[in-house]
Copies of this chain bind each other. A is one copy, B any other.
Amino acid sequence: VKITIHDVAKQAGVSIKTVSRVLNSEPHVKEAVRTRVQAVIQALDYRPNAFARSLSSSRSYVIGFFSDAPAWSFYQSQLQREALVHCKSKGYHLIVEPVEMSDPEWAKAIESSHSRLAFEGAILAPPSSDALPLIELLERLRIPVVRISPGLYEARSGLVQIDEAGAAAEMTRHIIDLGHTEVAFIGGPASHIAASRRRAGFVGAMERAGLVLREDFILEGDFTFASGSRLGDQLLGGKQRPTAIFAANDDMALGVASAANRSRLSIPKDLSISGFDDTPNSRSCWPTMTTVRQPIADIAREAADIITSAQYRDDTSDPQYRRNLTCEMVLRDSTAPRT
């Protein structure tokens, strides 16, 4: 007993075209008629067939979520889930499209998906947001793109990003306010733009406070626990060790904490540590980690909002489609006044 637009039309005593107009909130429908049709739709629990709709309108209502994250992190998962929910609430389907840039056929795979699904838009999650070949492919296929926290080609599409430098500066300021003067920073790979922005925020805050920036206290990790662990050993093994270490992400901060354990340093009495990301681990470790929380749900919502906006298609360069969100400091037990 499948119910179609004809059933609704008959019930409401109008033509199917009028029902279609109501369905798509088109103008030129008398208010009384619109109400009546809507009532019938409700009563019959009618839901339009997406395939028929797509076929005739050549619209798909499909948004692609492109991601080539090798190991899916909490951040990635949340982003995806939130984007999914927000797209859905706007009447779109979010389809996850893994990108395997290591596969020489990756572009073919995407083109093939596109020819079937007809993506109306694409959300690029990091690190795909900086994958130029992907961006170019999507441009060629005329698929509007919105990128999340890109580090490069900022003018190239709508984007949603956070104030990395500001957040890092705020965290640094917090550490300085606790009385620390020997503060070390473990950053990310030089190629990672968010990482260098965080470093810039750190450096700026230190300079504004008039503190000395020791070269051997600014290290470069690779965002893994292992690198935090190794660089932590290095920092804490020297004769002049910092009293606070700010790592550019939580995994590295946890690595530093393990190094502190090995050195029999107690956190936060002997050493303050802070991270960035607010991963579940940062909350469940011991002591709990002071960190920076990205507004992941907001980021996903903004991205979904932009990509589902018809306006955005017309003018992707409108500055209203470059959105900046601010982070929130999460003060926990791994930072304390210098003793």
Interfacial residues, chain A to chain B (CB-CB below 8 A): 47-52, 54-55, 60, 71-72, 74, 76-78, 80-81, 84-85, 88, 93-96, 98, 112-113, 115-118, 224-226, 229, 251, 255, 258, 261-262, 280-281, 284-286
Contact = CB atoms under 8 A, between A and B. Distances in A.
Contact of A77 (B47, B77, B116, B261): B77
A11 B112 CA distance: 21
Contacts of A80: 96
> How often does this chain occur in the complex, in copies?
2
Nearest to A117: B50
Nearest to A85: B98
Contacts of A49: 55, 116
Given A51-B51, A72-B77, A84-B98, 10 more contacts: A49-B55, A52-B55, A55-B55, A71-B74, A81-B96, A81-B98, A94-B96, A225-B285, A251-B284, A258-B286
5 contacts: A47-B116, A49-B55, A51-B55, A71-B280, A84-B96
A53 to B, nearest CB: 8
B229 A258 contact: no
Contact of A51 (B54, B229, B286): B54
Nearest to A53: B51
Contacts of A85: 98
Nearest to A286: B258
Contacts of A74: 71-72
Closest 10 CB pairs of A and B: A72-B77, A225-B284, A47-B115, A51-B54, A51-B55, A50-B116, A258-B286, A51-B51, A261-B261, A55-B55
A147 to B, nearest CB: 21
A126 to B, nearest CB: 15
Contacts of A78: 72
Given A78-B72, A98-B81, A117-B93, A225 B281 contact: yes
A231 B49 CA distance: 54
Nearest to A113: B88
Contacts of A51: 51-52, 54-55, 60, 118
Contacts of A281: 225, 281
Nearest to A47: B115
A326 to B, nearest CB: 24
Contacts of A47: 112, 115-116
Contacts of A226: 284
A229 B98 contact: no
A85 B96 CA distance: 10
Contacts of A54: 51
A81 B73 CA distance: 12
Query: Which of A52, A113, A116, A255 has the most chain B CB atoms closer than 10 A to its own CB?
Result: A116
A23 to B, nearest CB: 13
